Amino acid sequence: MPSPISNRRRNVLLSAATAAVAAGASLGTSAAAAAPAKGAAGRTSGTFTTRDGVEIYYKDWGPRNGPVVVFSHGWPLNSDSWESQMLFLSDKGFRTIAHDRRGHGRSSQPWDGNDMDHYADDLAQLLDKLDVKNAALFGFSTGGGEVARYLARHGSKRIAKAGLISAVPPLMLKTAANPGGLPIEVFDGIRAGSLKDRSQLYLDIASGPFFNFNRPGAKPSQGMINAWWMQGMMAGHKNTYDCIKAFSETDFTADLKKIDIPMLVLHGDDDQIVPIGASAHAAAKLLKNAKLVVYPGAPHGLTDTHKDKLNADLLAFIKG
């Protein structure tokens, strides 16, 4: 049975984070959500319960009658990680939607079902609930796998075009058929770090390779580091542990081959988390209708470090 995050735990995390993160941040509703775009009506967030009893939290920003853009987040984050893109697009008249994946953020924490099929099915139920039509769908990192599995498993009847941003498909794990992937020892190390000291693991990832703050001459943003850590610690331990296998060992090759709608494949060529060779370059070759965009020198976390450029590129792709 799902076990919701307690209000007490949320409040403890909020109190710890607000000392280091900009004042006014909220675990339930962000400052951006509190001031939706002109023309917005109704709630800016909500929840629904999946067929297997998991409560999913989602944000729904911008005008209700605007063209729809849907976002799927990475590990171990939540929908807050898309705030820059959602605020930018909603301010331009788009209705933007993002959910907290099961086990992450404000969604409940089921013991089982932490895999790509369930993630894709949860996304499908969200889009059905909101009756989304002719939408653009973007997935970041693990969310890119969710997007690929959703399109292959549920089709594109609600989606006009989609994008993979710093995404894991087709396969992160090194195998005989995928020699450019990462060795299993890399993911075993993440699992070991999670069991030993999950909080420190998240700090190490955020302060190092995720944003390339470990590169010579880099100027780390403590705000980005704190926000990443806070989102990770809001997620369930079992859920994020299981998700390591989901994002690293799921093979999306067959999924990508089924997708025929226009696809944006966007990646930084200095991505230390999901190296571009076995991901974006390989994915673009498998897709029937792909536009590959490479950001020179960009890290994995380019939704923050390159947000202005990314926002402009997403807008151009949506309108194109």
Q: Which residues are catalytic?
A: 141, 271, 300
Q: Which ranges of 44-132 does DSSP label H, i.e. alpha helix?
A: 83-90, 116-129
Structure tokens at 94: 């788009």
Beta carbons within 8 Å of 285's beta carbon, 6+ residues apart: none
Structure tokens at 59: 């944000």
Phi, psi at 104, each rounded to 5°: -120, 155
Write the single-letter amino acid at 48: F
Q: Which ranges of 178-274 does DSSP label H, i.e. alpha helix?
A: 184-207, 222-234, 237-249, 253-258
CA distance 39 to 41: 6
Cα dihedral across residues 137, 143, 145, 149: positive or negative: negative
